[in-house]
């Protein structure tokens, strides 16, 4: 079988795609790079906003046409698969294999059954499953928990991914050991709400550390860089900031989604914290980690959001001075309380607010990034950049960076770089040795290739 997986959505989906891909490979599948070469195409879907759902519809339309003219098995997994909306789409587009986020290990049974197979149960064995490490990668994801116990009124995730289940720390450490053995140097711990790790259904699980202690535990494993996402302000504790400061491997990068700066909107979103509590956490982070890079998520145009509420979001942005933000227009999702009970705002109001927020974000990102100008950063380089003769990667603070190749740094690896230029979205730099002197460029690297010509924008 020749299989191809297309992944939409979050880092959790990337982890799940890797998990399913390793199952497929163990069943003898040959993974191929395009739909044209594949006889099994699997879409790993996202249901958080309407746009990724539209994208899935359009690709499934294309696949259904292909299936009419050649043997093709169509699969759909991930959040959309778990929803009635997704199941209707699956029927319409003749999907053969449908796996919800809790049934991923059914992939083998699904393919063996040779008939339409829908797996929609949340199965415990997934939490003990350790996928093989990714091949040749320096960076990996590690899921520490699945599901979510919160009920934010706009969010479909608790429906699609079920209640929170924390993985046992022994499984997490075993998986980490396997990643380390494969040469991984940076790991991102994943969960919808990592700060609630070890507190499933609000109760502390016996034998499970708190998230802060898990960071300390993972920090002692020998891994060089640890990141984590996503934190929820409701469950954030000062001890997490303390653990980050005490544990050298944990990067000074905190992604703490605020969603809105207005208490009225936060209440309607059922976020379970207010502006003051959020700012208290930011103060704790800044006290223990003065150089921390701060990222957030913001939804604009939530139902009932007034201009005054939006001004509260803009003023909160100024008060915190975020390094970066993922900004979303509110998307009404069938099955969520806000879809059922609240009136959506006009599209042009939401779009206009997003434009103003983007201006704010760019100003702050430019200012915050400029503070790194001239500094030496540890960079994890993944491989070739878009511009010839360059490598791309990211810093401990998650800033994308591009550097010219140099002698002793020809390919992927963990290096030191001086930041020579910054934009709101990117760093540019040069690789340096232990003495902070620039490493000589490769002899065949033309001077024009070393010059940073066209800044790449991260969208
Ligand atoms: N668990 C994380 C938290 O609570 O912050 C976030 C997980 S969610 C999958 C990722 C982001 O998608 C959220 O932080 C939110 O900003 C955004 N999001 C979720 N539902 C949305 C919706 N209906 N419309 C627009 N953005 C949405
Ligand atoms: Fe969705 Fe809220 Fe859970 Fe995050 S905490 S996944 S936004 S319900």
Question: pLDDT, tens digit, for every residue of 78-131?
Answer: 999 999 999 999 999 999 999 999 999 999 999 999 889 999 999 999 999 999
Q: Which long-range contacts (CB under 8 A, 24 or more apart) does 444-452 make?
A: 445/389, 445/404, 445/405, 446/389, 449/387, 449/388, 449/389, 449/390, 449/404, 450/389, 450/404, 452/387, 452/402, 452/420, 452/421, 452/428
pLDDT interval class at 399 (50, 70, 90):
very high
Q: Is 300 in the pocket of ligand 1 (CB under 6 A)?
A: no
CA distance 228 to 377: 19
Please provide the average confidence, as pLDDT, over all residues in the chain. 95
- C-alpha angle 151-156-162 in degrees, rounded to nearest 5: 70
In 267-339, at which residue ranges do the beta strands (DSSP E only) sit? 293-300, 324-329
- Rounded distance from Cα 371 to ligand 2 centre (Å): 32
pLDDT interval class at 443 (50, 70, 90):
confident
Q: Which of 9, 150, 190, 299 best tests ligand 2's pocket when mutated (most atoms within 8 Å of CB)?
A: 150
% of the chain at pLDDT higher than 90: 93
pLDDT interval class at 445 (50, 70, 90):
low
Q: What is the pLDDT of residues 35-61, one digit of tens each?
A: 999 999 999 999 999 999 999 999 999
pLDDT interval class at 444 (50, 70, 90):
low
The pLDDT value recorded for residue 409 is 85
- Rounded distance from Cα 155 to ligand 1 centre (Å): 6
pTM above 0.85, yes or no: yes
Q: Is 193 in the pocket of ligand 2 (CB under 6 A)?
A: yes
First to last CA, the chain: 35
In 323-409, at which residue ranges do the beta strands (DSSP E only) sit? 324-329, 376-384, 390-395, 400-404
Contact 357/330 with Cβ under 8 angstroms? Answer: no
The pLDDT value recorded for residue 454 is 39
The pLDDT value recorded for residue 93 is 97
In the numeric block, which tokens belong to residue 167?
Answer: 């993985």
Which are the contacts of 427, defined by CB distance < 8 A and separation ≥ 6?
A: 369, 372, 377, 395, 399, 400, 401, 402, 419, 421
Q: What is the pLDDT of residues 308-322, one digit of tens each?
A: 999 999 999 999 999
pLDDT interval class at 447 (50, 70, 90):
low
Please report which ligand is nearest the Cα atom of 150. 2
With 80 as the cut, is the pLDDT of residue 448 above it? no
The pLDDT value recorded for residue 446 is 52
**Minimum mean pLDDT among 180-189, 271-280, 380-389: which range?**
380-389
The pLDDT value recorded for residue 411 is 85
More confident residue, 156 or 457: 156
Q: What is the pLDDT of residues 249-277, one digit of tens each?
A: 999 999 999 999 999 999 999 999 999 99
What percent helix, strand, coil does the chain show, rounded to 5?
A: 35, 25, 40
Of ligand 2's listed atoms, the one at least distance from the Cα of 149 is: 3
- Rounded distance from Cα 140 to ligand 2 centre (Å): 23
Nearest CA to ligand 2 atom 5: 150
CA distance 231 to 358: 22
With 70 as the cut, is the pLDDT of residue 457 above it? no
Q: Is 230 in the pocket of ligand 1 (CB under 6 A)?
A: yes
Specify the DSSP class assigned to residue 144: -
With 70 as the cut, is the pLDDT of residue 325 above it? yes
Of 262, 266, 254, 200, the closest CA to residue 230 belongs to 254
Nearest CA to ligand 2 atom 2: 152
Q: Is 158 in the pocket of ligand 2 (CB under 6 A)?
A: yes
Mean pLDDT calculated for residue range 167-178:
97
- Rounded distance from Cα 237 to ligand 2 centre (Å): 18
% of the chain at pLDDT higher than 70: 97
Nearest CA to ligand 1 atom 16: 297
The pLDDT value recorded for residue 408 is 85
CA distance 330 to 313: 14
In the numeric block, which tokens belong to residue 15?
Answer: 């982890």
Burial class (CB within 10 angstroms; exposed 0-12, middle 13-18, buried 19+) of 182: middle
DSSP tally for the chain: helices H, then strands E: 16, 21
Q: Is 150 in the pocket of ligand 2 (CB under 6 A)?
A: yes
Q: Determine the 3-state secondary structure of 357 from DSSP.
A: helix
Contact 159/197 with Cβ under 8 angstroms? Answer: no
Which are the contacts of 371, defined by CB distance < 8 A and separation ≥ 6?
A: none
CA distance 239 to 291: 17
Nearest CA to ligand 1 atom 11: 297
In the numeric block, which tokens belong to residue 243?
Answer: 């653990």
The pLDDT value recorded for residue 459 is 27
Q: Give me the DSSP letters along 422-451.
A: E-SS-EEEEEE-TTSPBPPBPTTS-HHHHS
Q: Is 155 in the pocket of ligand 2 (CB under 6 A)?
A: yes
Of ligand 1's listed atoms, the one at least distance from the Cα of 155 is: 20
Mean pLDDT calculated for residue range 328-348:
97
Q: What is the pLDDT of residues 292-306, one digit of tens each?
A: 999 999 999 999 999
């Amino acid at each position: 079988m020749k299989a191809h997986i297309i992944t939409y959505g979050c880092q959790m989906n990337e982890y799940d795609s890797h998990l399913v891909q390793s199952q497929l490979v163990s069943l003898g599948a040959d993974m191929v790079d395009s739909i044209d070469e594949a006889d099994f195409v699997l879409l790993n879907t996202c249901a958080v906003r309407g746009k990724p759902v539209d994208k899935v519809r359009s690709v499934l339309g294309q696949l259904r046409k292909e299936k009419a003219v050649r043997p093709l098995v169509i699969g759909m997994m991930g959040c959309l698969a778990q929803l009635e909306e997704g199941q209707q789409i699956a029927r319409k587009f003749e999907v053969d294999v449908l796996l919800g986020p809790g049934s991923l290990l059914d992939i083998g049974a699904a393919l063996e059954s040779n008939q339409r197979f829908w797996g929609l149960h949340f199965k415990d064995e997934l939490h003990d499953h350790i996928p093989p490490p990714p091949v040749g990668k320096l960076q990996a994801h590690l899921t520490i928990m699945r599901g979510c116990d919160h009920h934010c009124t706009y969010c479909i995730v608790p429906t699609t991914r079920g209640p929170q289940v924390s993985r046992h720390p022994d499984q997490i450490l075993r998986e980490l050991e396997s990643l380390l053995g494969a040469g991984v140097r940076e790991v991102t711990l994943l969960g919808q709400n990592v700060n609630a790790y070890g507190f499933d259904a609000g109760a502390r699980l016996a034998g499970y550390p708190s998230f802060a202690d898990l960071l300390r535990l993972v920090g002692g494993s020998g891994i060089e860089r640890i990141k984590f996402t996503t934190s929820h302000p409701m469950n954030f504790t000062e001890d997490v900031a303390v653990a980050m400061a005490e544990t050298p491997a944990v990067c000074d990068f905190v992604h703490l989604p605020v969603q809105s700066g207005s208490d009225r909107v936060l209440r309607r979103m059922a976020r379970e914290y207010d502006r003051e509590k959020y700012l208290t956490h930011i103060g704790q982070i800044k006290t223990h980690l003065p150089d921390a890079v701060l990222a957030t998520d913001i939804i604009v145009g939530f139902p009932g959001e007034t201009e005054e509420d939006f001004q509260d979001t803009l003023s909160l942005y100024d008060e915190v001075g975020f390094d970066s933000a993922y900004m979303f227009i509110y998307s009404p999702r069938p099955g969520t309380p806000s879809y059922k009970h609240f009136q959506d705002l006009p599209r042009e109001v939401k779009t206009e607010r997003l434009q103003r927020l983007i201006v704010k974000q760019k100003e702050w990102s430019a200012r915050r990034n400029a503070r790194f100008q001239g500094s030496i950063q540890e960079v994890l380089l993944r491989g070739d950049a878009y511009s010839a003769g360059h490598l791309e990667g990211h810093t401990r603070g998650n800033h994308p960076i591009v550097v010219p190749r140099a002698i002793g740094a020809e390919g992927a690896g963990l290096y030191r770089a001086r930041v020579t230029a910054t934009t709101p979205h990117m760093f540019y730099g040069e690789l340096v040795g232990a003495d902070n002197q620039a490493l000589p460029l490769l002899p065949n690297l033309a001077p024009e290739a070393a010059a940073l010509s066209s800044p790449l924008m991260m969208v």
